[in-house]
């Protein structure tokens, strides 16, 4: 019988793709040796932290979901935790492992990352905050500028 | 002449009277019997959990939010997990 577990990792923004690959490879190998398997390995991307952790304002979140056989749960989880704490302490800031209920949904809600989120430009910002008047003011200014250009042309 | 006796009415009793007169009915937990909303209580869903924090980032009491004891406990547990992972703030301004 397998139990569902998930681990959320908080990494520094300086983490390289190689380091991410080593984490993924380690989880794959370690769980396969013990009769489990990795179900999901999601990279959320760069997110703004609610408070600065270890001097950094941003962080990269990684979510791993995996199945572990019931007999080896304690040993496997302990090994994973020590791996992140001892060998990945350079680029991993926080970890959190949680057991999921058996009927847990495969989809989940997650916060939008900074990079993958909607591009916020000047116009979209004004629309979101209901300041359309300001954008019309900008257009008026453009027209004035055009008018001046015409006058210069006539002169 | 008989003296007029003035009864003192405390503000607390007045409030109680008003509460009794304008009876709104019992509060309802928004998660009880609502299978769609229950999976929203998750530490990863920080945007939803943020609606149960005050502007000072304290957890809203069930007296205000109307949650039942079971769901309030689950919610506060998930908020604390999200806080430890840096998804939610502990307080309004971190020094």
Domains contained in chain B, CATH given: 26-95 (4.10.640.10)
What are the boundaries of each domain within chain A? 2-99, 122-154
Phi-psi region of B66 (alpha: psi -120 to 50; beta: other; left: phi over 0): left
| CB < 8 Å from B in window 89-118 of A | 93-94, 96, 98, 105, 108-111
**Residue contact B94–A51, C-beta within 8 A:** yes
How far, in Å, CA of B10 to CA of B21, rounded?
A: 17
Mean pLDDT of A15-32: 92
Confidence band, pLDDT 50/70/90 cuts, at residue A149: very low
**Residue contact A109–B40, C-beta within 8 A:** yes
Closest CA of chain A from B39, distance in Å: 8
In the sheet with A92-99, reading across from the earlier edge strand, the strands are A37-53, A56-69, A2-11, A92-99
Mean pLDDT of A137-155: 50
Mutate to test the interface with A, among B43, B53, B56, B85 (most CBs of A within 10 A): B85
Give the list of residues 6+ apart from residue A38 with CB closer than 8 angstroms, or none. Answer: A24, A27, A28, A31, A64, A65, A66
Q: Is A36 on the interface with B (CB under 8 A)?
A: no
ipTM over 0.95 threshold? no
Query: What pLDDT does residue A64 have?
Result: 94
Q: Is A73 on the interface with B (CB under 8 A)?
A: no
Nearest C-alpha neighbor of A138 from the set A129, A126, A149 = A126
Using a CB-CB cut-off of 8 Å, the residues of chain B touching A62 are none
Q: Which two tokens stand for residue A3?
A: 């139990």
Closest CA of chain A from B74, distance in Å: 14
pTM over 0.90: no
Query: What pLDDT does residue B88 have?
Result: 93
Q: Report the CATH superfamily, name and number, of domain A2-99.
A: Ribosomal protein S6/Translation elongation factor EF1B (3.30.70.60)
Query: What pLDDT does residue B57 have?
Result: 92
Query: What pLDDT does residue A153 have?
Result: 46
pLDDT digits (tens, 9 = 90+) for B16-63: 888 778 777 677 888 888 888 888 899 999 999 999 999 999 999 998
DSSP assignment string, chain A: -EEEEEEEEEE-TT--HHHHHHHHHHHHHHHHHTT-EEEEEEEEEEEEEEEEETTEEEEEEEEEEEEEEGGGHHHHHHHHHHIIIIISTTTEEEEEEEEPPTT--S----PPPTTTS----HHHHHHHTT-HHHHHHHHHHHHHHHHHHHHHHH-
Q: Which of B46, B47, B86 sits opposite A53 (nearest CB)?
A: B86
Using a CB-CB cut-off of 8 Å, the residues of chain A touching B39 are 105
Task: Please determine, for residue B5, whether its predicted confidence score (pLDDT) is greater than 80.
Answer: no
Query: What pLDDT does residue A124 have?
Result: 67
Mean of per-residue pLDDT scores for chain A: 82
């Amino acid at each position: 019988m397998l139990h569902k577990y998930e681990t959320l990792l908080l990494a520094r923004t300086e983490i390289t793709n190689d380091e991410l690959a080593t984490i993924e490879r380690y989880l794959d190998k370690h769980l396969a040796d013990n009769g489990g398997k990795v179900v999901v390995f999601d990279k959320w991307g760069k997110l703004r932290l609610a408070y600065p952790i270890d001097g950094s304002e941003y962080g990269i979140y990684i979510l791993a979901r995996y199945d572990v056989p019931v007999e080896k749960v304690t040993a496997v989880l302990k090994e994973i935790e020590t791996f992140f704490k001892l060998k990945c302490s350079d680029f991993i800031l926080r970890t959190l492992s949680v057991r999921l209920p058996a009927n847990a949904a495969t989809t989940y809600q997650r916060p939008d990352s900074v990079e993958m989120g909607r591009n916020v430009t000047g116009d979209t910002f004004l629309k979101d905050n209901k300041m359309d008047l300001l954008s019309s003011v900008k257009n008026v200014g453009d027209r004035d500028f055009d008018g001046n250009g015409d006058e210069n042309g006539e002169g | 002449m008989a003296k007029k006796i003035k009864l003192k009415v405390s503000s607390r009793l007045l409030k109680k009277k008003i509460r009794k007169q304008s009876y709104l009915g019992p509060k309802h937990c928004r998660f009880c019997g609502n299978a769609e909303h229950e999976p929203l209580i998750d530490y990863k869903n920080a945007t939803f959990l943020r609606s149960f924090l005050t502007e000072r980032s304290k957890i809203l009491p069930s007296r205000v939010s109307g949650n039942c004891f079971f769901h309030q406990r689950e919610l506060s547990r998930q908020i604390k997990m999200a806080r430890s992972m840096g998804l939610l703030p502990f307080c309004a301004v971190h020094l």
